[in-house]
Amino acid sequence: MKCLSLFLILICQSQAALLANFQTSRGTVVIDLQYTKAPQAVANFITLSQGTRAWVDPSTGAVKRTPFYNGIKIHRTANDGSFRFAQGGSPKGDGSDGPGFTFKDEFDASLTHVPYCFSMANAGPNTNGSQFFFTGSLSQPTFNNVHTIMGLVTDPASRSVVDAMIASGPNNTTITGVTFSRTDPAAVAFNEFAQNLPAVIRPEGNLVVNRNVSATWNLNPVASTGAVFRAFRSTTLVTSPNSWSEVIAATQHVGITSALTTPVLFSVALDNASSPKAFYNLSIANHPGSVAPSTLANRTVTIPLGSDTLTFNFGSSGISGTTVYTPQTGSPISGSFTTVSPATGLAQAPSSSAHNITFTADTPSINPRYFWVKIGTDSATSATISGHHSSQYYSLFGWQPFASGSATITR
């Protein structure tokens, strides 16, 4: 009997090395964190939960170092025959925000979206931040190789809490705290501060104001590859929900250029300095290993579609060029394209961040006409950026999944 008891203890410890006690208004969910298979995602969750990693307040732009998840609600749920999940991690509660930085996907063949997974929510490849979701009592195979699994919920009591969160609907469950325990030497040795995650800082420098022309922040030291600069502005400093707003035009991503050129960001124009007074919260998120370009000008994007291929050859403008659809059999179809807003259809440049680039292409000569391409950039040589994509097409029913898989960006 002693041998059996010891065996059971060892089994329990091997299955519960690094645990998160996810405390909510509906009870506590114990999560077995998969730190060996998704180290960045787990490290990010630990440091945000404990307030040991700086993040950007999405309402004010202030750089903070406090427990991120406390008080945030589960803002999205699904509970039907196809999908059962509960999603949270959005301070605004609308799913539009995060901690002010992103990191890459981590997929492991041994982890699939069986019932009761704890995974990263995202807006496309390599856009992980702070949002997460729990799957419920159904397997979700369409999430595999799309969302990073960072934990498993194995005990019945915790699964009941997940079920309760899902059943209660959106905005009816509040996160009250997250604590962690480590039950073996490997878990104790896991260093959440050594996983090459982004670092958020307040940029040093000086403000130069030219009245009714520009307010410019000069960086000292300058920013380089992988940096994302953001600015928020207030004209009153009155504490209210809408007293601060992000200066979208001031957002700068310092993407890679040619192999012989190191990109540098010296200064950023914040606004036209027309207000009687203005206050700014500034931040830079530095992303190690970033290989995303800040523009697709003079680059070629190639997306394999099974046995077919879709190619976008961008011109010097970075918003238009020629496209070629090459089927496995038959003749290629070619024509021009322009990148547009997926919401309005108006011309819009591709959007890039540290580990991804996104564009919507209007291709009049190809059916379907509109493609929304989201590319996660994973590695690069002097000539080619390699990554993975998730693409959609527009139909009478709105944006629909089209294809996913590898992608390349060449010079």
Predicted TM-score (pTM) of the model is 0.92
Query: Rounded to whole angstroms, what are the CA distances from 227 to 45, 93, 377, 381?
Result: 21, 26, 15, 20
**Token duo for residue 128:** 């992980």
Asked whether 406 and 387 are in contact (CB, 8 A), the reply is yes
* pLDDT score, position 411: 84
pLDDT at 11 over 50: no
Rounded Cα distance between 40 and 78, Å, is 27
Closest among 376, 359, 375, 367 to 394, alpha carbons compared = 367
Q: What is the pLDDT of residues 324-378, one digit of tens each?
A: 999 988 899 999 999 999 988 899 999 999 999 999 999 999 989 999 999 999 9
Q: Report helix, strand or coil for 323.
A: strand
**Position 46: which residue type?**
I
| Structure-model confidence comparison of residues 305 and 265, the more confident one | 265
* pLDDT score, position 8: 34
pLDDT at 34 over 60: yes
Confidence category of residue 12, pLDDT binned at 50, 70, 90: very low
Rounded Cα distance between 125 and 180, Å, is 28
Q: What is the pLDDT of residues 52-96, one digit of tens each?
A: 999 999 999 999 999 999 999 999 999 998 999 999 999 999 999
For the chain, give the percent of residues with pLDDT over 70.
Answer: 95
- DSSP readout, 78-137? EESSS-EEEEE--TTSSSS--SS--B-----TT----SSEEEE--SSTT-BSS-EEEE-S
Q: What is the pLDDT of residues 361-374, one digit of tens each?
A: 999 999 899 999 99
The four Cα atoms 233, 238, 241, 245 give a dihedral, to 10 degrees, of -10
Average per-residue pLDDT for the chain:
93
* pLDDT score, position 241: 66
Return phi, psi of residue 152, to 5°: -130, 140
Closest among 148, 93, 152 to 125, alpha carbons compared = 148
- In three-state form (DSSP H/G/I as H, E/B as E, the rest C), the secondary structure along 273-299 is CCCCCCEEEEEEEECCCCCCECCCCCC
pLDDT at 1 over 50: no
